[in-house]
């Protein structure tokens, strides 16, 4: 074995070890509650709001009005449990969409309606995307959110603190019939 091939082999092994360590760190942080590890457990007295409550605002109806119970929460701190859909990146995430269940976008299935999605703006960046349920606590703002001319949501949670949620706390009842799940639940 020549010195050049030894150096190349050593470099290849070192690179492989670094990649494996990186994948283990990424895997552990992505699927073992990285938001909780980064931000701590969110302990708050904020009321939990369910996705079924958000759907009460019938935005598709002409002259739809915000229900009084939702209107009372506008500008208040709330807590909600759902699943992340990355918005514009999968690392150093400061903004994402929260849905009631894991969603797999598909061209033949309509996306969730604007009253079924929450835009989340985090207080601090999250290192990576996760498939696991999340508990989000922050200030609810009820206002239309347009992205490239499309109405994406009527709800935004700002200054959000994010921690791992429990799958037993996820609200899977009452999903619209056309909701396209990602994975098995």
Question: In sequence order, which residues have a C-beta less than 8 Å from that of residue 114 and are 6 or more positions away?
Answer: 59, 144, 145, 151, 152, 153, 154
pLDDT score, position 133: 94
Could you tell me the fold of the domain covering 32-169? OB fold (Dihydrolipoamide Acetyltransferase, E2P) (2.40.50)
Per-residue confidence (pLDDT) for residue 13, from 0 to 100: 38
The pLDDT of residue 146: 92
Residue extents of the structural domains in the chain: 32-169
pLDDT at 44: 59
Whole-number pLDDT of residue 101: 85
Could you tell me the pTM of the whole model? 0.72
What is the pLDDT at residue 5?
A: 33
Below-70 pLDDT ranges, the chain: 1-44, 104-109, 176-185
């Amino acid at each position: 074995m020549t010195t050049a091939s030894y150096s190349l082999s050593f470099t290849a092994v070192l690179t492989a070890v670094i990649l494996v360590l990186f994948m283990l760190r990424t895997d552990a942080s992505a699927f073992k509650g990285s938001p909780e590890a980064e931000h701590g457990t969110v302990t708050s007295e904020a009321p939990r709001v369910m996705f079924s409550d958000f759907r009460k605002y019938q935005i598709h109806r002409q002259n739809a009005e915000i229900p009084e119970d939702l209107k009372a929460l506008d500008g208040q701190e709330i807590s909600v449990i759902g699943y992340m859909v990355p918005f514009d990146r999968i690392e150093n995430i400061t903004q994402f969409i929260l849905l009631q269940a894991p969603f797999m976008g598909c061209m033949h299935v309509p996306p969730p309606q604007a009253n079924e999605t929450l835009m989340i703006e985090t207080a601090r960046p999250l290192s990576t995307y996760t498939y696991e349920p999340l508990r989000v606590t922050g200030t609810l703002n009820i206002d239309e959110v347009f992205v490239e001319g499309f109405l994406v949501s009527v709800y935004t949670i700002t200054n959000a603190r994010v921690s791992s949620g429990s799958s037993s706390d996820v609200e899977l009842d009452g999903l619209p019939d056309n909701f396209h799940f990602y994975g098995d639940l």
